[in-house]
Chain A
Amino acid sequence: MKDITLTINGRKVTVPEDYTVMKAAEGLGISVPRLCFLKGINETSSCRLCVVDIKGVKGLKNSCTLNVEEGMEIETDTDEIRDSVVQNLQLLASNHVFECWACEREHNCELLDLMRRYSVENIYGESRDFVKKNRWINDSSASIVLDSGKCILCGRCISACEMQSGLNILDFNERGNETYVGPALFHNMEDSGCIYCGKCIQACPVGAITEKSELDEVIAALRDPSKKVIVSAAPSIRVALGEEFGGKIGGNVEGKMYKSFEVLGFDEIMDTNFTADLTILEEGTEFIKRVTEGGKLPLFTSCSPGWINYIEQYEPQFLDHLSTAKSPQQMAGAVSKNYYAEKLGYKKEDVVFVSIMPCIAKKHEADRPEMEVDGVRDVDYVLTTREYARLLRRKGIDFMSLEDGHPHGKLVQYSGAAPIFGTTGGVMEAALRTVSEILEEKETPINFKEVRGLEGVKEATYNVAGIDVNVAVVHGGVSIKEFFKLLKTSEKQYHFVEFMACTGGCINGGGQPIHPAIVQDNIDIRAERARTLYEIDAACEKRKSHFNDDVMALYKEWLDKPGSHIAHKVLHTHYNKREFYKN
């Protein structure tokens, strides 16, 4: 590729010809303000904050999509530009509801950051002479809340929905000054076909789209002496939570996480990694049964509730392919209440089960009517990674200086197969480790590296006990759509397919810490977090789910064997075709 030399603020810089002016400036350490630009996702140049002055060109031009040209002379910080940025920020601020202390994005709001950097006076918003737009809050779903009072109409959520979920749930409604973001035709989120992958939330520069918070309920439960609060965190929380406190992206904070549970006063700590192993035994057994006894193939995994939302709404004719095993979250709640509570001397009705999840669809999953046993809900509250970090901040806990904690309960142990549930390919690899060993009745390999990585659809064939098992791993709404096209037309007999609604899997879930656009542009956050999960796996002494002693003890003491009657009652579920845009 050709190199281009241009001048930015009087400094010469040589960059490849496909660079934008913004990127070239970044290379010089010049930070150009931006709100709408999210590389590869939203390149609409609508916020007008990244404007620069090109010598010889009239007016200011946005630098985010402006290609470099030989000999270009650019200024990024003239009085006119600074004034333009300040005025546009004033305009954006004029309708913004500044409740920063109560906002989920208080610590990483991109608007607030720019307001600080440019020391912007909120001349319109603070004046009674100017009209504020009506605030419109769409909180009809169990998972997600849209708040037009915070929205700056950058369109990042809309593009993320289109490019990452492939479903185009969100769009601009109305026009001009009346514009607001939401599902088309004033529909509420619950009836919009949304799968709650939360890519919109992660794209949002402010707090205009958030999970529906259950933080206050959890705090109330912790205060209530009559409640026994059990907490359990998903595999991918430990590789992301630290980021909320300035830790390195993908850093492993498992020990601090356990410790923080103690500090907050949870009555019992379990780990969703435990039920990830349990899931492998249930789902793996189901797979073996379908292959050996002739059941519906391919078997589809069922851990990702966003994926469940997808298939129920968009591909319901395939519902009988789904594994009936509940997700690790639901199993965790069900095992805690229906088995472990008694061991701890708690009445299961008194137990409040709190799940810390990387995901907002988990809230919707916990809310599903069928997710209970004998009238006792499996999971009471679901907090996202972000909400949990917020809880810690509210309690004044200095997370990064906590020492490592070591919970000693019987629902904590995990094999290396469990943490990798948090990344695309992980559930498949974990299942293959156990399934192959059971079918071959001898020790089989640990690594199935073909299913790892960030490619949208991964396929592999493994010969297991004489059968060529065709597996596929699919993540992200766009790839799911693509895969179903393939599935409907291809002659190939797939045996086992892993689906996750989020690209990259749970590590990139809609409940995970959010990074500003500039960080998202330059670092593949998914890869960083996934790498740590594989490191955790590699460091485990036991790396196959059926070697988890406490899981095996659970079968011995209570569940009998995978797929048993009691296992079915407590650990399995069913799915329903769902329609949207009904009204």
Chain B
Amino acid sequence: MIERAHVLICSGSNCISRGAKSLRDEFETHLTALGIREEIKLVNTGCVGLCEQGPFVIVYPEGVFYAQVKNKDIETICKEHLYKGRIVEKLVFDEALTQDKQVKSFEEIKFYSKQTRIALRNCGLINPDDIEEYIARDGYRGLGRTLLEMTQMEVIDEMISSGLRGRGGGGFPTGVKWRFAYNNENDQKYIICNADEGDPGAFMDRALLEGDPHSVLEGLMIGGYAIGANKGYIYVRIEYPTAIEKLHTAIAQAKEYGLLGENIFGSGFDFDIEIRLGAGAFVCGEETALIASIEGGRGMSRNKPPFPAAKGLWGKPTIINNVETLANIPAIMCNGADWFSRIGTEKSKGTKVFSLGGNIKNAGLVEVPMGTTLRTVIYEIGGGIPKNKSLKAVQTGGPSGGAIPESMLDLPIEYETLIAAGSMMGSGGMVVIDEDNCMVDICRFYLEFTVEESCGKCTPCREGTKKMLEMLNIISSGNGTLEDLDKLEHLAHMVKSSSLCGLGQAAPNPVLSMLDKFRDEFVAHVVDKKCPGGVCKPLIELQITEDCIGCTKCAKECPVDAISGSIKQLHSIDVSTCIKCGICKNICPVDAIISV
């Protein structure tokens, strides 16, 4: 029977954590009670992307986009929309409603209309547990073309001419990397999918693995064929249980359909995929540490050269590609290098997925063509900054990247331009920082992360990042001097130039870029002994402005009773008692408490 409506329920980890797990059961119950269960198809999809507004339910054919859906809303959607055909306007995502209360379809919402989805082409649209849905959207066609119509070198040439570059951060041309491994003759080669996503706040790879695992498997197989590897590994962190489960299901289904295993498509090409779990060390995303981990050793980086393409896993030529890179490959092989290379800019082709976070309205997953400006991503797709605060900076590249100031927002997103701006593409973290943040504090945050995640092998990273963090602590406590800023910068340059692996070489980037672009803020800390962002506790004082309405909320919540004032009267803070915990500031209904 053909269903008259399809209901997509976002089941990405973000929506699950916001309560989407039981939505399907609710639908089952209510649709059955209404007697229309058989008329409606329910599909649990991967991440839809607009995570801030989840959980989502999308109802086709209209494409109605319900946001922030709760269990209790399902009955209404079933009774009103699915039974009576009346869209439940109050549950529709507000940006999907026009001023005259017309409901725009999901694709017409600004968040999506500005995006170009290649890697995420199936995410949120198909059931990742059903290989047929993947196949229905051209899945495994690229593999078929590869295995049946092309030589290994032709595949590599196609990849080179597509201009695809590594999406894990480095931006090395994928086809060129493959050619190295292809040229290194050996009876055994390996291809590894690096799914050890570790940047704080980044979840592009998780969403892809959960929402469209077959695209990653297909990409891995195409790469395996090209370089001459018949064994692939997917190195995925154990903190991604849903992704692991989806991968297992996808591998089993691909085997069942003869798309994975021996003599695929009768081409004589055999391929096997094994999943290896990482314990969650950030450094294991670095390819040589990842290899050490798969081999059963400690996740510690190794010196390059030799590069993995020459001597990698168990000493054999090995290619390591990131999840997003692999997810692009089937689309390229299906639609051709020309199609792909028309998207993006001269040096950066295709699209890039970002996980947009921080002080932004529409936090979530976005995929934009290379060359899109940061301003478009933040203001048009991301919806701008909440509370109309002003933007101070955008951090790309996570703990390995840098902060780009407001003045550079019209920069097109490309590998080279971001590096020139003192940051980097990275794997796709994009953190929006508003005026209420302190750049010294943000530096400390990233440094704390790298100190924690350093493997401890080489001197500059193990000891240098720690000393940098200690210097930042001195600066943020108000005990620093101008000379300390120079010392910090001096040490940061050394750690960058002499560390063993990419983690250490990139660890000073936040410090260097923020010292470069936001030096005034650092100077304020050491000279004026002030924190302009109002964050560094030793340097701030909380004050109540004339805007106070005397609601007494702050006085009641203050843990140390530092606030006095009677009802409807201007309150005041006793600075000698105040511990600067900021509770009052957060609960003040009229933003009358400020840090100075």
Contact = CB atoms under 8 A, between A and B. Distances in A.
A175 B456 CA distance: 5
B6 to A, nearest CB: 48
A92 interface: yes
Given A83-B490, A83-B494, A91-B467, 17 more contacts: A44-B457, A47-B459, A51-B498, A59-B497, A84-B498, A88-B460, A88-B494, A92-B459, A92-B463, A131-B470, A153-B462, A171-B298, A172-B456, A175-B281, A175-B455, A175-B456, A176-B454
Interface string B464-482: 1111001000100001000
A432 B470 CA distance: 65
Nearest to A174: B456
B497 A80 contact: yes
A130 B470 contact: yes
Nearest to B466: A177
A48 B467 contact: no
A171 B456 CA distance: 12
A175 B497 contact: no
A249 to B, nearest CB: 30
Contact of B500 (A46, A80, A83, A178): A46
25 contacts: A44-B302, A45-B500, A46-B457, A46-B459, A48-B460, A48-B500, A59-B498, A60-B498, A84-B494, A84-B497, A88-B460, A91-B459, A94-B463, A129-B470, A130-B467, A153-B459, A172-B300, A175-B281, A175-B455, A175-B456, A177-B456, A177-B462, A177-B463, A177-B465, A178-B456
Contacts of B496: 59
A62 interface: yes
Interface in B492-547: 494, 496-500, 505
Nearest to B495: A87
Using C-beta atoms within 8 Å of the partner chain, give the interface range for chain B. 20 to 34
B459 A48 contact: yes
B456 A88 contact: no
B26 interface: no
Chain B facing A: main interface SS: helix
A179 interface: yes
A114 to B, nearest CB: 12
B303 interface: yes
B458 A177 contact: no
Nearest to B464: A91
Interface string A60-92: 101001010000000000001001100110011
B295 interface: no
Given A44-B303, A84-B497, A84-B498, A177 B460 contact: no
A94 B471 CA distance: 14
Interface of B: 281, 298, 300, 302-303, 305, 451-460, 462-467, 470, 474, 479, 490-491, 494, 496-500, 505
A172 to B, nearest CB: 6
A174 to B, nearest CB: 7
Given A48-B459, A88-B494, A176 B452 contact: yes
Contact of B458 (A47, A171, A172): A47
A88 B498 CA distance: 9
A153 B456 contact: yes
Contact of B497 (A60, A124, A171, A177): A60
A454 to B, nearest CB: 27
Contacts of B460: 48, 87-88, 91
A178 B454 CA distance: 10
B463 A91 contact: yes
Contacts of B459: 46-49, 88, 91-92, 152-153
A176 B453 contact: yes
B447 to A, nearest CB: 12
A95 B457 CA distance: 15
A91 B491 CA distance: 10
A176 B470 CA distance: 15
B473 to A, nearest CB: 9
Contacts of A177: 451, 454, 456, 462-463, 465-466
Chain A facing B: main interface SS: loop
A155 B298 CA distance: 13
Return the 7 tightest CB-CB contacts between A and B, nearest first. Answer: A179-B456, A91-B463, A176-B454, A45-B303, A87-B494, A176-B456, A177-B466
B455 A176 contact: yes
Contacts of B298: 171-172
A48 B452 CA distance: 20
Nearest to A176: B454
Contacts of A48: 458-460, 498-500
A84 B494 CA distance: 6
Interface in A108-165: 124, 129-131, 152-153, 155
Interface string A308-350: 0000000000000000000000000000000000000000000
A129 B474 contact: yes
| Interface core residue of A44, A87, A88, A94 (most chain B CB under 10 Å) | A87
B303 A65 contact: yes
A83 B505 CA distance: 16
A49 to B, nearest CB: 8
A59 B474 CA distance: 29
B428 to A, nearest CB: 24
A87 B508 CA distance: 15
A130 B462 CA distance: 15
Given A88-B494, A179-B456, A179-B462, A124 B467 contact: yes
A45 B470 CA distance: 26
A420 B491 CA distance: 54
A129 B474 CA distance: 8
Contacts of A80: 497
A547 B190 CA distance: 65
A176 B494 contact: no
B484 to A, nearest CB: 9
Contacts of B452: 176
B424 to A, nearest CB: 14
B458 A175 contact: no
Contact of A94 (B456, B467, B499): B467
A130 B472 CA distance: 11
A130 B488 CA distance: 13
B552 to A, nearest CB: 43
Nearest to A154: B459
Nearest to A58: B497
A12 B408 CA distance: 47
Contacts of B490: 83, 87
Contacts of A95: 463
Contacts of A49: 459
Contacts of B497: 51, 59-60, 80, 84
Nearest to B480: A129
Contacts of B455: 175-176
Interface string A91-113: 11011000000000000000000
Contacts of B494: 83-84, 87-88
A294 to B, nearest CB: 46
A159 to B, nearest CB: 12
A47 B499 CA distance: 9
Given A46-B500, A60-B497, A65-B303, A176 B462 contact: yes
A65 B300 CA distance: 17
A59 B467 contact: no
Contacts of B491: 87
